[in-house]
Amino acid sequence: LKLIITGAPASGKGTQCENLKVKYDLKHLSTGDMLREAVANGTPTGIKAKEYMDSGKLVPDTVVCGIISDSLSSCATGFLLDGFPRTSSQAETLNSLMHDNGLGSIDCVIYLDVNEESLVERVTGRRIDPETGNSYHVKFKPCTDPEVTQRLIQRSDDTEEKVKVRLQEFRANVDAVNGAYGDKVKTVDGNKSVEEVWEQIREIVDKV
């Protein structure tokens, strides 16, 4: 199974990937997570990516395609792409990478559709545990362990100002990216609760 999950910043991609990767035994490939790790480790990729990520802008295609190319080559059984492709050029690169690695084509694109007001609320309320990488939300998924709660941090791009830039980048590219996959794109109402969104996704993926 080869899936893409797409949607605006904080639409719930990472949250639903936790369910998807377990249920369908998929390798979760999040370019956002990979880039944040590269930045934290100060690798050449991280150094190139940092200023873009800090301002909420997309990292250049060549940098992102480099990291995805490395991980795809070891993914014959199935994968779940989270946050990639984000531009039509990335979609083209993905197409040729899959062809070159004998991986066939994408089976389904899950598009999480969430209204803007909810996106801002989800971004500003998100908290991360720096030790485990687990994600929480002050209102929708509060952390219940006091020890963990006191070490929670906010992602540096999770401010209202930066989410505006991230949303602009998203809006500028969403039609072109979804357009590249035609009727493989399945839109999910992402405004609902985590469980209700997961129900919709499961129904779609079970039919793929």
CB nearer to ligand AP5: give 31 or 45. 31
- Residue 153 has what DSSP assignment? B
Quick check: 48 and 63 in contact, CB under 8 A? yes
Q: Which of 31, 45, 93, 200 binds ligand AP5 (CB under 6 A)?
A: 31
Quick check: 119 and 163 in contact, CB under 8 A? yes
Least distance to Zn ion, CB of residue 56, Å = 14
Choices 9-17, 37-45, 48-56, 194-202 (CB under 5 A): range interacting with Zn ion: 9-17
* 56 lies in the site for ligand AP5, by CB under 6 A: yes
| Residue 139 neighbours by CB under 8 Å, 6+ apart | 121, 125
- Site for Zn ion (CB under 5 A): how many residues? 3
Quick check: 109 and 4 in contact, CB under 8 A? yes
b/e for 73-83, b at 16 or more Cβ within 10 A? eebeeebbbbb
CB nearer to Zn ion: give 14 or 46. 14
Pairing verdict, β 108-113 and 27-30: unpaired
* 14 lies in the site for Zn ion, by CB under 5 A: yes
- Site for ligand AP5 (CB under 6 A): how many residues? 33
Site string for ligand AP5, 90-109 (x = CB under 6 A): x-------------------
Cβ-based neighbour number of residue 199 at 10 Å: 13
C-alpha 113: how far from its chain's center?
Answer: 13
CB nearer to ligand AP5: give 4 or 108. 4
Least distance to Zn ion, CB of residue 162, Å = 14
The DSSP element (H or E) to which 108 belongs, if any, is strand 108-113
* 13 lies in the site for ligand AP5, by CB under 6 A: yes
Q: Which residues are catalytic?
A: 13, 86, 126, 155, 166
| Residue 102 neighbours by CB under 8 Å, 6+ apart | 76
Residues that bind Zn ion (CB under 5 A): 13-14, 32
Which residues form the interface with ligand AP5 (CB under 6 A)? 7, 9-15, 31-32, 35, 52-53, 56-59, 64, 83-84, 86, 90, 122, 126, 135, 137, 140-141, 157, 166, 193-194, 197
